[in-house]
Amino acid sequence: MGFTDLDPADFDALTFDCYGTLIDWERGALGILRPWADGQGLDAGDDDLLSRFAAAQADQETIRPIKRYPDVVGSAFAEIAAGYSKTLSAEDRERLARSIGDWPPFADTVEALGDLKARFRLGVLSNVDVRSFARTHARLGNPMEVIVTADDAGSYKPALAHFHRGIEEFAKLGIAKARILHVAQSRFHDIAPATSLGLTCARVDRRGGREGLGLNIPSAAETPYVVGNMAELAAHLCRDQG
């Protein structure tokens, strides 16, 4: 069984993870982390910076009551600096937090979302805040009908609140859980929790066989439906359109 075994006729809606799946958050984060590391004279590769950032974010996202995502990012940056025994200015910390809405979409994202929107109802389940996602959503062409952020859920994935709320919002539109396909690249944040609720999942393998984990948290969760990019996803799910 593989991705091509997915029947588009089985679904009326797609929900997406955003950062890492639609948005190149590794490139966005490195745009701030890399100059800081170089300025500190750190002999640290990109993957080391990213893996430390991923772990620090995951730590910060477990704090209750939750921090808003820009504060999560700023606190994670401070954790990274402390782990390297380096200093972090308030300006650098704020620069990373402010940059979230500027992180770029992957090259295939916007066109693929446009194609998919012609056939399916679209939603996003994102671990960021409302204000940051509003900037990102504009970059994506505002395709999402259902939007669930960490501000809305009151927690961060892999907690289940995002998924429950997304399912509830699509139910209001007359779309049952069984008719929703959840699309994400993170096994830890998305595939594991979504699968536990009985959602069908497709994973976008944005790492593409590169060494290291980047911003991914290790997880054994998997789906038989794995695709290399958003263009491939749209081509398959929209193959009988037009």
Residues annotated as catalytic (active site), given as ranges: 17
Residue 10 is which amino acid?
A: D
Alpha helices in 84-160 (DSSP H): 90-98, 109-117, 130-140, 150-153
| 180-184 and 13-16 beta bridge pairing | parallel
The answer to whether 197 and 168 have CB atoms below 8 angstroms apart is no
Give phi and psi for 233, each to the nearest 5.
-60, -50
CB-based contact 148:123 (threshold 8 Å): yes
Q: Which residues contact 148 (CB under 8 A, 6 or more apart)?
A: 123, 124, 125, 126, 162, 165, 166, 169
